[in-house]
Structure 1
Amino acid sequence: MAVFSGIVLQVMVPMLLIVGLGAGFHRFFRLDLNTLSKLNMYVLLPAVAFINVYDSELNGKVLAAILGFLLLQNGGLMVLSRIMAKLFKLERSMAAVFQNTVVLNNSGNFGIPVSQLVFHQHPLGATIQIIVTIFQNFLTNTYGVYQFVSGNGKSGKWAAEIWKNPVLHALLFGVVCRWLHVPIPSFLWTPLQRVADAFLAIALFTLGAQIAYARFNALPPLVYASVFGRLVLSPLLAASLIFLLGIDGVTAQALLIASSYPCSRNTALYALEYDCHPDYAAQAVLVSTLLSAITVTGVVYAARLLFPIAG
């Protein structure tokens, strides 16, 4: 019960308050969603991406141990979501958004607080969540962007579109600076950190503006398929792979829990930026986030039962 109340009070309620504020502001003042999208895409997201990579303590042994799992799990989700899109007979742009809602998760602003809550006595669990978050950042800005670009009929130019993405540049620059141990002077680091700190609030505010006029009393069935894929199918696949690979203890718990987080907020942001069914993407993000308070709590308990920590 403590885990459930912790997720609700420390993660869900603050997020939903900001989303509600964004929805209310858009209804009253008719905000320019294109400007909000550009602010997120070209200023805030790059700052967050760079800091996530540069400021993380990446343990080489842990990274090597879980990289195979992440590749298998996300590869499996890509295949499964593609099969589901084919079965639903979705047109290309809708299939692209659907696949992103299943594959990409909110491992950063949702996952990191949850992992800190669950693994407060086991720092390795929080470290693994950082690695998963960085992996998801790269996945979002390569696979995720490719999906949106191809969904817009620009598949022939997907490499150029991905390379134009400022977030990918920030990630690569962060890797280089981290690898070469390049010190960032305080007069650059301080404003960079201030910009990154603003990301969560403005991104959630933007999500609220996106769903301001959405009707949640008659959600399209595809939203439920997205939620099922992200909150149920993903952890089931993860559990199967963990058993198959013989992973146990804190590492197994952290990887299983990390697979259960709701649809990535960035899916809604990119859908808005590329004008690729932004209403559906925002609905999937919000509904999965609401329901995840229950499902993530269930996965936490399951992880503790299936993969007990010795001692």
Structure 2
Amino acid sequence: MFTPFEVAYSVITPIFLVVLAGAYLGRRLRLDARTLSNLIIYLFTPCLIIQGISTTSLEGDEIGQIALFVTLISVILAALATLLARLFHYERQTESAFVLSVFTMNAANYGIPFNEFAFGEAARDRALLYYLSTAVLANTLGIFIISRGNASSRQAFLNVFRVPLIYVTVFAFALNATDSRLPLPFERAVALLGDATIPAMLLVLGFQLSRSSVRDKLRAVALAVGLRLILGPLLALGLVMLMGLEGLTRDVMIVQSGMPTAVMAGVFAVEFRSDPEFATTVILVSTLASILTLSILLSLLGA
């Protein structure tokens, strides 16, 4: 059984060390978060997607189940968050950041090692595929939602096709389906760039936190954190029962759905100028609160 100390020491502390480095450098050197966010969206993440999808060892049926699960839970959370944001009359930019903060989860640098630590090495591929599915949704539905904070629905829709991830995903699945590989120099270059994705995201989070203040939006922050950490795994429990998922796949789906807000939400909020202060605050608070909520969740699952 996990203890909060193990979660904090083994998973959370390395994340916050990188974030703190970003916050210090961002304040000291006045670094521009948008430059790094552009590299993440247009270069690092596409390489990570190619690396992850093209080399996964999971069977086609299980890939389809996980992708469907992630799509369903993300759409349900996004729809519910949109309704609540309209009900409470959030400003347009805050609404976009709120919705994105609720339906995107940190399934990568937090979720993958956490699941591997909890369930063993066999959980890694499932946790990775969950993350890749969320990354595809974040780069499509997520970009549409966050763009609407500052643009028309038409422009927000067009922004989805500005980023390369849709095309890269098709290419990566084609490589996987045909059991093909990139030429060795390209494969190694893609791996190097893909490995830079998560550290770069954490640095952007640090840059943004060094200049954030959302004292007038604390209730909205608390609501977003509650939806992400509590409603997420509850919805996941219902979905795994509905879809008939069992064993390790079931446990990984539930735990990944209880992860804190994805760092990518902050990256997109910076890139598309939709209340990045709100998004980064939700990321920080949800990550800290998850030490307790994930420990409870694992004890309920019997891990």
State the percentage of identical aligned residues. 26
Q: How many residues are paired up?
A: 303
Question: 1:255 corresponds to which residue?
Answer: 253
How far apart are residue 93 of structure 1 and its match? 2.4
- CA distance, structure 1, for counterparts of residue 170 and residue 224 of structure 2: 30
For residues 6 and 189 of structure 2, the distance between their equivalents in structure 1, rounded to whole angstroms, comes to 31
| CA shift digits 1:78-100 (9 cap, x unpaired) | 22112211221123322111111
The match for 1:45 is 45
Letter in 1 for 2:153: S
Structure 1 stretch displaced more, 240-249 or 262-271 = 240-249
1:287 is displaced (CA, Å) by 1.0
TM-score (norm 1): 0.90
Mark the runs of 5 or more structure 2 residues left unpaired by the alignment: none
Whether the aligned pair in 2 keeps the contact of 1:257 and 1:303 (CA below 8 Å) is: no
Q: Does 1:148 align with 2:146?
A: yes
For 1:172 and 1:65, the matched residues in 2 are separated by 18
Residue of structure 2 equivalent to 1:304: 302
Whether the aligned pair in 2 keeps the contact of 1:256 and 1:303 (CA below 8 Å) is no
Give 1:218 shift: 7.2
Distance 2:193 2:245 in 1: 38
Match of 2:204 in 1: 206
2:5 aligned residue? 5
1:258-285, CA deviations, whole angstroms, 9 ceiling, x for partnerless residues? 1100101100000000011011111111
Letter in 2 for 1:154: S
2-structure distance, mates of 1:253, 1:153: 39
Once the 2 structures are TM-superposed, how far is the Cα of residue 118 of structure 1 from its aligned partner?
1.0
TM-score, reference length from structure 2: 0.92
Q: Distance in 2 between matches of 1:197 and 1:72?
A: 28
State whether residues 147 and 274 of structure 2, in contact with CA within 8 Å, keep that contact through their aligned partners in structure 1. Answer: no
SS in 2 for 1:182: coil
Cα pair 2:93 2:274 within 8 Å, conserved: yes
- What is the match of residue 174 of structure 2? 176
Q: Distance in 2 between matches of 1:160 and 1:83?
A: 24
Instruction: Within 5 Å, give how 1:102-121 maps onto structure 2.
Output: 102-120=102-120
**Deviation of residue 68 (structure 1)?**
4.4
Structure 1 counterpart of 2:274, one-letter code: C
In 1: Cα distance, 2:267 partner to 2:127 partner = 22
Match of 1:32 in 2: 32
Q: How does 1:189-268 map to 2 (within 5 A)?
A: 189-215=187-213, 220-268=218-266
**Equivalent position of 1:309 in the other structure:** none
* Match runs of 1:53-68 below 5 Å: 53-68=53-68
Deviations 1:230-266 (A, max 9, x none): 0011111112233344443323212111110010110
Aligned to 1:82: 82
Structure 2 counterpart of 1:5, one-letter code: F
Q: Is the 8 A contact 2:15 2:202 kept in 1?
A: yes
SS of corresponding position for 1:151: coil
How far did 1:304 drift?
Answer: 2.3
When residues 216 and 164 of structure 1 are mapped into structure 2, their CA distance, relative to the original with a 3 A threshold, is: closer
- Amino acid in the other structure paired with 2:249: T
Q: Check if 1:278 corresponds to 2:265.
A: no
Contact kept, 8 Å, 2:46 with 2:165, in 1: the verdict is: yes
Q: Does the aligned pair in 2 maintain the 1:6–1:117 contact within 8 Å? A: no
In the superposition, relative to structure 1, how do residues 126 and 162 fare at CA in structure 2: closer, same or farther (>3 Å)?
Answer: same
The answer (yes or no) to whether the contact 2:93–2:150 under 8 Å persists in 1 is yes
Greater mean deviation of Cα atoms: 259-268 or 82-91: 82-91
Do the aligned partners of 1:261 and 1:292 also contact (CA within 8 Å) in 2?
yes
Residue 160, structure 1, aligned to residue 158, structure 2: yes
Aligned counterparts of 2:173 and 2:68: Cα–Cα separation in 1 = 20
